[in-house]
Amino acid sequence: MEAVLGRPASDTDAGPPARWTVYLSLLVAAFLWGSLYPAAKPAVAATGPIQVTLCRVALAFVALGTLSLLRGGPRPIVWHVRRHGLTIVVLGLMNFSLSQIMALSALAFLPASIVGVLNNTHPLWVAIAAAGIARPRRPALMIAASLVALAGVVLVFAPDLIGGAADASAVQPIGVALALGGSLAIAASTLLGSRVMAGSDPVIMSALASGAAIVPMLGLTLVSGGFAPIVQADASIKVLLLYLGVGCTAINFGLWFYGLKYLPAAAASAFQYLIPPISVALAAIFLAEPISPSLVLGTLCILIGLAATQLATGRLAVSGSGAS
């Protein structure tokens, strides 16, 4: 039941959902994020990284904003803006703009495989922060599990890392700083999101956060080739842009924030270790890229680390309790 001042009814009012539904939402979100890279490759080549990012945030805002209006009208949206206005702006800038821009910029200074590893260290930073702030049941196990999963990410990229590391000049400090900066931005937004999701609507928060990223992305697009590459793109590229905006941004961020609503940040963030092997596997299926033994071993390490992280963090959070 909706309370006064337009506050949306919270799912936690009826108790937490079944744990498997929260896990499923995070698994689907990881799959969609994993599909982002194979789907974005031809789109970025045809239009540019800034244009792809603009399409993602704009389409996500339209899709989730429309859904939010249909579900409850404008009052819950207004309530979220009044209650979480600054947080929404910060989440939008960090999740939808800053982290992506830093990762894309790092590609100019580092091999793509190294960027992939460094940018996927954010669950480790979340685990370390959670161990120091929230005091989970088994902090040492949580950090150790995160390290095992991170080792799996390194193994997934091992063939490319060996080749990329052969040329020391290909690794520049500014690229490392940008990739790690993007990782830290994701970690910070994860911790912040876990704090505000209790009592909030994940769909509305995702809509507003994506909307907050539109203005800066419009400015960057205007100085990076404009809108012509998007308008002149082939129909197949426009379909990919639609998928990237709706599937890989609107749906997966909604599912991600839903997971943060009920799981501690470290437990939810660990699911993002699945993104690299999913991405590599989908690239092998759709782009004919090879699958190596290190992918299989790395995926196994990620799954072990993921399972151990869930054991270390305990129960589902209710109304924010237990969230890191």
Instruction: For residue range 94-107, list pLDDT tens digits in order.
Output: 887 888 778 767 76
What's the whole-number mean pLDDT along residues 170-199?
81
SS3 135: coil
- Say what the pLDDT of residue 5 is: 43
Task: Please say if the pLDDT value at position 211 is more than 50.
Answer: yes
Long-range CB contacts (within 8 A, 24+) of 102-105: 102/178, 102/179, 102/181, 102/182, 102/185, 103/178, 103/179, 103/182, 104/49, 104/50, 104/53, 105/178
Q: Is residue 206 part of a domain?
A: yes
Q: Is residue 89 part of a domain?
A: yes
Task: Please say if the pLDDT value at position 239 is more than 90.
Answer: yes
What's the whole-number mean pLDDT along residues 216-241?
92
Q: Is residue 8 part of a domain?
A: no
pLDDT band, residue 163 (cuts 50/70/90): low
What's the whole-number mean pLDDT along residues 31-35?
85
Q: Is residue 122 part of a domain?
A: yes
Q: State the Cα angle at 137 between 15 and 141, rounded to 5°.
A: 125
- Say what the pLDDT of residue 69 is: 94
Q: State the Cα angle at 166 between 164 and 172, rounded to 5°.
A: 65
Q: Is residue 287 part of a domain?
A: yes
Task: Please say if the pLDDT value at position 260 is more than 70.
Answer: yes
Q: Containing domain of residue 261, as a range?
A: 18-313
- Say what the pLDDT of residue 9 is: 55
Q: Is residue 321 part of a domain?
A: no
pLDDT band, residue 81 (cuts 50/70/90): very high
- Say what the pLDDT of residue 14 is: 55
- Return the number of other C-beta atoms located less than 10 Å from residue 70's C-beta: 8
Between 207 and 108, name the one with better pLDDT. 207
pLDDT band, residue 70 (cuts 50/70/90): very high
- Say what the pLDDT of residue 28 is: 93
Q: Is residue 4 part of a domain?
A: no
Q: How many domains does the chain have?
A: 1
Between 269 and 113, name the one with better pLDDT. 269
Considering only CA atoms, which of 190, 157, 180, 182 is closest in space to residue 53? 182
Between 160 and 51, name the one with better pLDDT. 51
Distances (CA, A) of 293 to 66, 71, 105, 296: 44, 47, 30, 5
- On average, the pLDDT of the chain sits at 79
pLDDT band, residue 323 (cuts 50/70/90): very low
What's the whole-number mean pLDDT along residues 137-151?
77
d(CA 134, CA 265): 10
Q: Is residue 10 part of a domain?
A: no
- Say what the pLDDT of residue 1 is: 35
What's the whole-number mean pLDDT along residues 278-298?
73
d(CA 79, CA 273): 34
What's the whole-number mean pLDDT along residues 289-310?
75
pLDDT band, residue 264 (cuts 50/70/90): confident
